[in-house]
């Protein structure tokens, strides 16, 4: 039913400035803009690889304004489905009433009973690649209870929990689950508990509680992206010339959301199927 991570929503005080920054760093491009009355926000949508990033700017009191006042950054994980009507019916059967946004619908974490996990559901659509990124494949959700969150995600979205992959990182101080939508693809929600509060993620969790934290995508143009970041945003990324597998773009460069970037297939290293990683 879920096909992929096809977007992420973020909140910003100046959506145009944030969109321009994504363009400078990643060759993202504005594809449309509109108003979302239900969220009291204007929206600029940019193409990032074959995915989209929706930048929401409040136009009055409402959920976007409240999110921005609380710190801003990632607002909702964007999930694509091959049958949005069945998905809407499944939510109704679970007693969840979505907020309609044109052809999409939005559900906050409170209605999902998964604190911190807002989602926006969109019908699957093929898009041409835009810019240096290939795709987005992951949104990270921070929680005290990743086991319960993963079970709820499986139940609500009719996913096979047998395909989920446990994950733990001593370096970043977290553990939890990769809720793979399909074991043949990387797309998933990463729901994790930051157990080490001395690390960056743990401090973020102490400040904001259950919330979305970052997103991850692939590129087959990592050296080009690295050179771009060295030139345009030298203090706003983490990586090295010796590491041809990935890098991180810092939140202050992208309107409050961290972007992890891995070279094509490399994320299978920690996603349950390391034999799928292709050599550089």
Query: Tens digit of pLDDT per residue, the chain (280 long)?
Result: 899 999 999 999 999 999 999 999 999 999 999 999 999 999 999 999 999 999 999 999 999 999 999 999 999 999 999 999 999 999 999 999 999 999 999 999 999 999 999 999 999 999 999 999 999 999 999 999 999 999 999 999 999 999 999 999 999 999 999 999 999 999 999 999 999 999 999 999 999 999 999 999 999 999 999 999 999 999 999 999 999 999 999 999 999 999 999 999 999 999 999 999 999 8
Q: Give the Cα separation of 89 and 97 in Å (integer).
A: 10
191, 150 in Cβ contact below 8 A? yes
Q: From residue 217, how far is each of 26, 38, 66, 77, 202 by CA, in Å? A: 12, 29, 28, 13, 22
pLDDT at 6: 97
Tokens 């990033």 correspond to: 53
pLDDT at 1: 87
Q: From residue 64, how far is each of 51, 74, 124, 260 by CA, in Å? A: 21, 11, 25, 24
Q: How many CB atoms lie within 10 A of CB 192?
A: 26
Closest to 259 in 3D by CA, of 13, 12, 15, 26: 26
Note the pTM of the prediction, 2 decimals: 0.97
pLDDT at 155: 96
Closest to 165 in 3D by CA, of 178, 156, 148, 153: 178
Alpha-helix runs per DSSP H in the chain: 15-26, 63-69, 84-93, 109-112, 146-157, 200-208, 222-232
């Amino acid at each position: 039913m879920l096909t992929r991570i096809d977007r992420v929503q973020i909140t910003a005080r100046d959506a145009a400035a944030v969109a321009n920054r994504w363009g400078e760093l990643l060759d993202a491009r504005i594809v449309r803009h509109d108003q979302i009355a239900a969220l009291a926000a204007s929206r600029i949508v940019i193409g990032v690889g074959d995915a989209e990033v929706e930048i929401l700017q409040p136009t009055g009191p409402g959920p976007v304004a409240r999110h921005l006042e609380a710190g801003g950054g990632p607002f909702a994980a964007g999930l694509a489905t091959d049958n949005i009507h069945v998905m809407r019916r499944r939510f109704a059967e679970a007693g969840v009433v979505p907020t309609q946004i044109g052809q999409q619908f939005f559900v906050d974490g409170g209605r999902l009973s998964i604190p911190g996990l807002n989602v926006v559901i969109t019908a699957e659509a093929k898009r041409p690649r835009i810019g240096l990124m290939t795709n987005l494949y992951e949104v990270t959700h921070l929680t005290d209870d990743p086991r319960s969150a993963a079970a709820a995600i499986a139940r609500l979205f009719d996913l096979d929990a047998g395909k989920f992959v446990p994950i733990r990182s001593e370096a970043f101080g977290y553990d939890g689950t990769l809720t793979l939508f399909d074991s043949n693809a990387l797309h998933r929600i990463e729901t994790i508990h930051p157990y080490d509060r001395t690390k960056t993620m743990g401090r973020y969790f102490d400040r904001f509680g259950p919330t979305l934290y970052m997103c991850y995508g692939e590129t087959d143009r990592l050296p080009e992206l690295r050179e771009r970041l060295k030139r345009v945003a030298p203090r706003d990324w983490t990586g090295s010339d010796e590491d041809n597998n990935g890098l991180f773009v810092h939140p202050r460069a992208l309107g409050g959301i961290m972007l992890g970037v891995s070279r094509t297939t490399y994320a299978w290293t920690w996603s349950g199927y390391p034999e799928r990683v292709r050599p550089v």
